[in-house]
A and B are shown apart, each in its own frame.
Chain A
Amino acid sequence: MINASAAVWAEGAPTLQEVMPAEGVFSLIWLLIALPLLGATVLLLGGRRTNTWGPYLAVLTVSASAILGILMVVGLMDRGAEERSIGQSLFTWVFAGQFEANMAFQLDQLSMVFVLLITVVGALIHVYSLGYMQHDPNRRKFFGYLNLFVAAMLLLVLANNYLLLYVGWEGVGLASYLLIGFWQHKPSAAAAAKKAFIINRVGDVGLSIAIMVIFVTFGSVTFDDVFGQASEVNEGTLTAIGLLLLLAAAGKSAQFPLQAWLLDAMEGPTPVSALIHAATMVTAGVYLIARSNAIYDRAVWAATAVVVVGLITIFMGAIIGSAKDDIKKSLAGSTMSQIGYMVMAAGLGPIGYVFAIFHLLTHGVFKAGLFLGAGSVMHGMNDNVNMRRYGALRAAMVVTFITFMAGYLAIIGIPPFSGFWSKDEIIHAAFERSPIIGSLAILAAGITGFYMTRMVAMTFFGKARWEDDAHPHESPKVMTIPLIILALGSTFLGMALLFWGNIETWLEPVVGFSTSTSPLSTEAVIAISLTFVIIGSIIGWISYARREVPIVAPRGSLLTRAARADLYGDAVNEGLIVRPSFWLSRLLIWFDGRVVDGLVNGSAALVGGASGRMRRYQSGFARSYALSMVGGTVLVLLALVLVRLS
């Protein structure tokens, strides 16, 4: 399937950058994390006193981090390309024997783009939430959790070693858990939160073991030590590390086979879905793979596994997205699919990393825009999520409609919208590795066109199928302004990063880059993928805008029904893991009570029973005691005599 030898594969792999000491604005790297952490602490511990001003404090801390991030990116741009990796060590964190992990940060080109994405999109979503969560009695907590999330996510991307990354990794998992289950009184939300956490924990096992393998191999868990010496390690070990990291990435990024939690995660408030389950946290897996490029470049099989997982998820997500009537779940399927693209690209080696990150950035912006747009629609429709009860909303919510369209055009990849540039580059890179991968990626692009057109058609076009008490209205300014900014990003970010920001040369020192030698020319790839996208879109348009959309979902084909059931991901987990676990649990409880404790209580009963028998011989008759004394004496005497005789 992959036609590249290891040597060709690793072409363009980066060399390790020298780490610069943190000076000037960069001595404040810790503050990037500390600000939102402070916000979270104040909001979560401050109690009701902070109800009035707390949410604004949360917006303020994230915005301050964003400004700090912008100052830092300016500072990095001022520096030469070889001086852009900056390290800051605070103190030794965990140490014993040979093991040492520092509380230390590393800001380089890769972390920098993530910092910007997290803080800027995060700040926008905080602002949007001011409007969206206005009437929620617990919104103080909501903002506290959001701030906690931003802090953890920044820790994840700024850590300079795997163990500290793990803290951020589970920290975002915790924030995600808290936010999915934010409306805890709904049992479905609480269950979804628990499910997300536990499935993520399976991925975390992968990360844990990966860190252990890394330590016993390299004697260190610091990125620089590991990547600098990766070439001295045999391929088998690297493959193991790569596969374990892939497991971790699959958990966090909702990739096959750990994808089942993401759709349920839509139980959380919509800004959460936008920030955590579309723009940032779910892309952490891509970050992990791209960050560990030195390992994957030398472990072709692990990289191939990454490509395969990515491809499977692209299609799973797309198929699920095509069948769901819940607008958020449909978008969640789409997120799975788009992250599948990124993961696949990250598995392609140095020709793919840059575009994986590129797509991650554009996707972060346009998908956040789409989710917030969906939230705006729900806000106007009494929180109804069923697209079959939408229709013809374009007149009722003009701003939402226009901004949603920008995101729509970006995700399906129509030039010059941002998604076009990034997705096209990924498809192009995929063709270089293998025509099969490339073709599949193009086919999936066609499906993307279909389900996104379906969504837009069902929501904004066609006839109104509103419920009787629905009075669609445009959302307040505090919500539409972030939408407009994100829509501008969806439109221009791709071009800006590619032509003005030179994303390839920016990221090359960290993740490496080699220009494509694809058999297909760029123009050909664009032409073919656009054709597929347009065909998909037309099918979607004909089926959902031209025809009447029934309010009650038709039974649908076998595939539709499977997709509505999340391709039976839950059923598989339930049948193979959850239920056997509870059977085992019940068996062990029985065993514990009857066998283990039974033995203990049994021996106690034995002693008790024996003593019950024995005491019967204490008859109280003095003469029988005397008889037994005589008998005993006789026995002793006999024994003595026998011993003497023998």
Chain B
Amino acid sequence: MNPSNVVILSAILFSIGAVGVLVRRNAIIVFMCVELMLNAANLAFVAFARTSGNLDGQVVAFFVMVVAAAEVVVGLAIIVTIFRTRRSASIDEPNLLKY
């Protein structure tokens, strides 16, 4: 299997994720897009690890998964809290952190 195909797939996934984060308003979807980007990165790590023949990339991929899981926990909690107070999951509405 040509690793470049895998890397290209990872780039495509990452781009979809990035565009999703930028254009979607719904916090849940933005969140899923972030996950998509993380997994695109994981894919790239694993692919390169295989190409170079050592396990470092694989290990990092596991790290990323753990961090992503933790992030999901915190992120979803925040989203739920915001939804409770504002009755909306739009991320454009909570803009209190401005000048």
B-contacting residues, A603-625, CB 8 Å? 615-616, 618-623
| A619: chain B residues within 8 A (beta carbon) | 95, 98
- Given the known A-B contacts A621-B92, A622-B91, are A630 and B99 also in contact in the complex, defined by CB atoms under 8 Å? no
A615 touches B99 (CB 8 A): yes
- Does B70 sit within 8 A of A, measured CB to CB? no
Complex CA distance for A618 and B95, rounded to whole angstroms: 10
A618 touches B99 (CB 8 A): yes
- Does B96 sit within 8 A of A, measured CB to CB? yes
Complex CA distance for A619 and B97, rounded to whole angstroms: 8
Complex CA distance for A483 and B97, rounded to whole angstroms: 94
B95 touches A626 (CB 8 A): no
B interface size (C-beta, 8 A): 13
- Does B28 sit within 8 A of A, measured CB to CB? no
A623 touches B99 (CB 8 A): no
Q: A641 to chain B: closest CB distance in Å?
A: 14
- Our pick among B22, B92, B99 for the contact of A616 (Cβ within 8 Å) is B99
| A576: chain B residues within 8 A (beta carbon) | none
Complex CA distance for A627 and B19, rounded to whole angstroms: 9
Q: B82 to chain A: closest CB distance in Å?
A: 11
Query: Which residue of chain B lies nearest to A630 when distances are taken between CB atoms in the complex?
Result: B18
B91 touches A623 (CB 8 A): yes
Complex CA distance for A615 and B23, rounded to whole angstroms: 24
- Our pick among B22, B95, B96, B98 for the contact of A627 (Cβ within 8 Å) is B22
Complex CA distance for A367 and B21, rounded to whole angstroms: 105
Complex CA distance for A618 and B98, rounded to whole angstroms: 5
Q: B1 to chain A: closest CB distance in Å?
A: 26
Q: B38 to chain A: closest CB distance in Å?
A: 14
Q: Mark B57-99, 1 if CB is under 8 A from A, else 0.
A: 0000000000000000000000000000000000110011111
- Given the known A-B contacts A619-B98, A620-B98, are A630 and B22 also in contact in the complex, defined by CB atoms under 8 Å? yes
- Our pick among B21, B22, B96 for the contact of A620 (Cβ within 8 Å) is B96
B-contacting residues, A577-630, CB 8 Å? 615-616, 618-623, 626-627, 630
Complex CA distance for A456 and B23, rounded to whole angstroms: 112
B18 touches A620 (CB 8 A): no
A626 touches B21 (CB 8 A): yes
A-contacting residues, B21-43, CB 8 Å? 21-23, 25, 30
Query: Which residue of chain B lies nearest to A619 when distances are taken between CB atoms in the complex?
Result: B98
| B23: chain A residues within 8 A (beta carbon) | 623
A621 touches B99 (CB 8 A): no
| A616: chain B residues within 8 A (beta carbon) | 99
| B98: chain A residues within 8 A (beta carbon) | 618-620
Complex CA distance for A627 and B98, rounded to whole angstroms: 16
Q: A326 to chain B: closest CB distance in Å?
A: 76
Query: Which residue of chain A lies nearest to B19 when distances are taken between CB atoms in the complex?
Result: A630
B91 touches A620 (CB 8 A): no
Q: A640 to chain B: closest CB distance in Å?
A: 16
| B21: chain A residues within 8 A (beta carbon) | 623, 626
Complex CA distance for A627 and B23, rounded to whole angstroms: 9
| A623: chain B residues within 8 A (beta carbon) | 21-23, 25, 30, 91-92
- Our pick among A615, A620, A630 for the contact of B95 (Cβ within 8 Å) is A620
Q: B36 to chain A: closest CB distance in Å?
A: 14
Query: Which residue of chain A lies nearest to B95 when distances are taken between CB atoms in the complex?
Result: A620
| A621: chain B residues within 8 A (beta carbon) | 92, 95
Q: B76 to chain A: closest CB distance in Å?
A: 16
| B92: chain A residues within 8 A (beta carbon) | 621-623
Q: Mark B5-30, 1 if CB is under 8 A from A, else 0.
A: 00000000000001001110100001
Complex CA distance for A588 and B97, rounded to whole angstroms: 48
Q: A627 to chain B: closest CB distance in Å?
A: 6
Complex CA distance for A274 and B5, rounded to whole angstroms: 115
Complex CA distance for A216 and B30, rounded to whole angstroms: 86
| B99: chain A residues within 8 A (beta carbon) | 615-616, 618, 620
| A622: chain B residues within 8 A (beta carbon) | 91-92
Complex CA distance for A620 and B23, rounded to whole angstroms: 16
Complex CA distance for A630 and B21, rounded to whole angstroms: 10
| A620: chain B residues within 8 A (beta carbon) | 95-99
Complex CA distance for A622 and B27, rounded to whole angstroms: 10
Complex CA distance for A627 and B18, rounded to whole angstroms: 9
| B25: chain A residues within 8 A (beta carbon) | 623
B97 touches A626 (CB 8 A): no
| A615: chain B residues within 8 A (beta carbon) | 99
Complex CA distance for A616 and B25, rounded to whole angstroms: 22
Q: Mark A496-513, 1 if CB is under 8 A from B, else 0.
A: 000000000000000000
Query: Which residue of chain A lies nearest to B24 when distances are taken between CB atoms in the complex?
Result: A623
Complex CA distance for A619 and B92, rounded to whole angstroms: 10
Q: Point out which of A615, A618, A620, A627 has the most chain B C-beta atoms below 10 A from its C-beta.
A: A620
B22 touches A626 (CB 8 A): yes
Complex CA distance for A626 and B97, rounded to whole angstroms: 14
Query: Which residue of chain B lies nearest to A618 when distances are taken between CB atoms in the complex?
Result: B99
Complex CA distance for A627 and B30, rounded to whole angstroms: 13
| B30: chain A residues within 8 A (beta carbon) | 623
Complex CA distance for A622 and B22, rounded to whole angstroms: 9
| B22: chain A residues within 8 A (beta carbon) | 623, 626-627, 630
Complex CA distance for A626 and B99, rounded to whole angstroms: 17
| A627: chain B residues within 8 A (beta carbon) | 22
Q: A168 to chain B: closest CB distance in Å?
A: 70
Complex CA distance for A32 and B98, rounded to whole angstroms: 83
| A626: chain B residues within 8 A (beta carbon) | 21-22
Complex CA distance for A3 and B28, rounded to whole angstroms: 115
Complex CA distance for A230 and B99, rounded to whole angstroms: 80
Query: Which residue of chain A lies nearest to B18 when distances are taken between CB atoms in the complex?
Result: A630
Q: B residues near A, CB below 8 A?
A: 18, 21-23, 25, 30, 91-92, 95-99
Beyond A616-B99, A623-B22, A623-B92, 17 additional contacts (C-beta under 8 Å) are: A618-B97, A618-B98, A619-B95, A620-B95, A620-B96, A620-B97, A620-B98, A620-B99, A621-B95, A622-B91, A623-B23, A623-B25, A623-B30, A623-B91, A627-B22, A630-B18, A630-B22
A-B contact pairs, 19 of them (CB 8 A): A615-B99, A616-B99, A618-B97, A618-B98, A618-B99, A619-B95, A619-B98, A620-B95, A620-B96, A620-B97, A620-B98, A621-B95, A622-B91, A623-B21, A623-B22, A623-B23, A623-B91, A626-B22, A630-B22
Instruction: Please name the 8 residue pairs, one residue from A and one from B, whose CB atoms are nearest each other, closest first.
Output: A620-B98, A620-B95, A615-B99, A618-B99, A620-B97, A622-B91, A618-B98, A626-B21
